Structure 1
């Protein structure tokens, strides 16, 4: 148990995550104990909802596996049939529906199981809070209550999860904690399909099967944000890749030019990084790149745009940064890299600590070179070469 990854969480996050898990477990236990034996008609509704959802998710998983999609987000589909259960099932059978995402975690062998359990616990609390709002023993399916219930389900779930993620990483952005607008839209669509499925199941259980095609389409559509993020971010570091960073930087520079905001571009290159790959191994090199990316995101200012240009080269756009501010940020990054220690594994399989990493940084500002990105990059690259020529582990202002 001492080796479980959950213990690596910051103490506030660890306490909060455990509190959410315990609250969900207590709620589920009380629901099972206090609920009456379900009627045959309720069991039939459960079979129709669970069977439809199971067929869709399993079928989509098989299809994704055939296409080689290694990472998927099934939560939209899970939210959909859980919403149907809130409307059409008694509380104890609603508990059984929660075994769907739990089983999904086990079968998919998620690398961060504790995070999946935490998300499931937050979902369970939100589902039962929604059920309480609609009526614990006999939910009312009026339009106003259904809309209110959908808002409670989505908002409470998002708040519980986002707060925990914020405690886990205080430097994380709002989008990293809550999601992008398309994630919110998918959540709304999921509960809408689930609401229709639940209403139909209340009338005739077998008619819930009609939601299968819509649920399958939702399950596939829910992968779009994941695919888009994969296309925009570097796989090894999680930072914006060169193409996405270039697009974002040009947009920010155009906005800055309209308002004559001071901005800067910072180009970074790890010194003698080839030695790490040659002497310790490429896996150690990858670990160093991942550690540098985390350090960059935690060391630059909120709102700065960090990207990886390839190899051991990184780039940062600093909005609202005068030359003095840009130099200060660059020095802070340089010192943080010099103090960095990266635990990794050497080629002989023994634990190894990488230390002594340094970085050379070139900085170009809009006050000297204007707001055209190519001009800023050329100037920053020239300053970077100067930093390396003067002995490395330096910041050079263009």
Structure 2
């Protein structure tokens, strides 16, 4: 659907847009050469970024060249530059063809929507501007950047919702905070590139250096995130959880505020793998992780403890609130229906799963995070021994 709409719109714009001038061709060549140098010099970093990333939104820094093309070139040349850039990226990334066509189509559609917004204003004049007109021109460029950013997010988000085999999360559809920060930086650099290609084309060499370095910084930042993240669920792994939870716990304890540690264990999880296969188990873990995010607050720290266990730190939450939160999580998980496949690849929905939840609260049960973690884990085993599918508050220490 998106691909067909893109082709129709491209044909119509190509027929109705005036022929490019020599200046247009010069700017197109300059942007295309810079984009090619950027893509080829950053191909190894891009390969590693894509190979280690869980399927979700992927930010490509080639927007540094495609966005200014929409601003300063006739639209058919801008679309041609995007096609050339995406084709080169495909040879680098070696992604399935349907993903390539969808991502390319989303960028092309976003470019055409942005072009339509720019048409509403006067022709782009990025030279000989006085102070008032420079502010107005910058405002138009900023608006175009927002449209370009938003259109891609909507198209890719809608595609993720329609194509996902499991319940998509906000992270899957819209990307993480870090993803969106990188996209905003790409658009900002694209605005600067548009100004340079019109006024000082030779200075585009500086943007090539910045774009290549930006890819390397993005790779390092992604590796820093990946080392703290569980690849199956997108939650923090134990290393990442402990670092984030320790900071949150210290803030709450300095303020003499209670905090709760919850251990969440999926009951009889092995039976899922035995009955439907390990891919089905992975789908259940992913959907449960999304459910934990939806059942908690933004400031709560959620991680995968290992296997079928999850761990949460709920800052500023005392015993009654923590027990209520545990019950909310238990009920949320029990109401999930997970669309997945069986061992033979046939469709199946897994539902009616239960959880055992153990809770330890600071300062009643302990004064250190690791101590609370052990006590909450022990409470989970008590819940299992007493029949599972329940929330168990840890017993107070005997010295209390």
Do the aligned partners of residues 196 and 163 (structure 1) sit closer, same or farther apart at CA in structure 2, a change above 3 Å counting?
closer
Do the aligned partners of residues 269 and 259 (structure 1) sit closer, same or farther apart at CA in structure 2, a change above 3 Å counting?
same
Please report the RMSD computed on the Cα atoms of aligned residues, expressed in angstroms.
4.0
Do the aligned partners of residues 202 and 161 (structure 1) sit closer, same or farther apart at CA in structure 2, a change above 3 Å counting?
closer
Do the aligned partners of residues 276 and 197 (structure 1) sit closer, same or farther apart at CA in structure 2, a change above 3 Å counting?
closer
Match of 2:22 among 33, 40, 52: 40
Match of 2:51 among 42, 46, 69: 69
Figure out how many residues of one structure are paired with residues of the other and give that number: 376
Query: Partner residue of 2:370?
Result: 374
> 1:39: Cα distance to partner?
1.3
Query: Partner residue of 1:129?
Result: 117
Structure 2 CA distance for aligned equivalents of residues 112 and 323 of structure 1: 50
Further displaced range: 363-372 or 63-72: 63-72
Match of 2:143 among 144, 149, 152: 152
Further displaced range: 309-318 or 157-166: 157-166
> 1:229: Cα distance to partner?
2.8
Query: Partner residue of 1:15?
Result: none
Residue 260 in 1 paired to residue 237 in 2?
no
Query: Partner residue of 2:164?
Result: none
> 1:332: Cα distance to partner?
2.0
Pairwise mapping of residues 272-351 of structure 1 onto structure 2 (< 5 A)? Answer: 272-351=268-347
Structure 1 CA distance for aligned equivalents of residues 326 and 101 of structure 2: 37
Q: Secondary structure at the match of 1:218?
A: helix
Structure 2 CA distance for aligned equivalents of residues 347 and 178 of structure 1: 31
2:339 and 2:350 in contact (8 A); partners too: yes
Do the aligned partners of residues 119 and 202 (structure 1) sit closer, same or farther apart at CA in structure 2, a change above 3 Å counting?
closer
Pairwise mapping of residues 182-193 of structure 1 onto structure 2 (< 5 A)? Answer: 183-184=180-181, 187-188=184-185, 191-192=188-189
Long gaps (5+) in structure 2? 162-166, 395-400
1:364 and 1:397 in contact (8 A); partners too: yes
1:236 and 1:289 in contact (8 A); partners too: yes
Do the aligned partners of residues 157 and 149 (structure 1) sit closer, same or farther apart at CA in structure 2, a change above 3 Å counting?
same
Structure 1 CA distance for aligned equivalents of residues 8 and 140 of structure 2: 22
Query: Partner residue of 1:95?
Result: 79
Further displaced range: 30-39 or 60-69: 60-69
Do the aligned partners of residues 235 and 75 (structure 1) sit closer, same or farther apart at CA in structure 2, a change above 3 Å counting?
closer
Do the aligned partners of residues 62 and 303 (structure 1) sit closer, same or farther apart at CA in structure 2, a change above 3 Å counting?
closer
Structure 1 CA distance for aligned equivalents of residues 49 and 9 of structure 2: 39
Further displaced range: 238-247 or 297-306: 297-306
2:45 and 2:219 in contact (8 A); partners too: no
Q: Secondary structure at the match of 1:36?
A: coil
Q: Deviations over 1:215-273 (max 9, x none)?
A: 22223333344333322221001111111111111111111122232321110112222
Q: Secondary structure at the match of 1:77?
A: coil
Residue 388 in 1 paired to residue 388 in 2?
no
> 1:52: Cα distance to partner?
1.9
Structure 2 CA distance for aligned equivalents of residues 346 and 158 of structure 1: 38
Long gaps (5+) in structure 1? 2-17
TM-score (norm 2): 0.76
TM-score (norm 1): 0.77
1:105 and 1:113 in contact (8 A); partners too: no
Further displaced range: 361-370 or 97-106: 97-106
Query: Partner residue of 1:108?
Result: 95
> 1:94: Cα distance to partner?
2.6
Structure 2 CA distance for aligned equivalents of residues 366 and 37 of structure 1: 71
Structure 1 CA distance for aligned equivalents of residues 20 and 29 of structure 2: 12
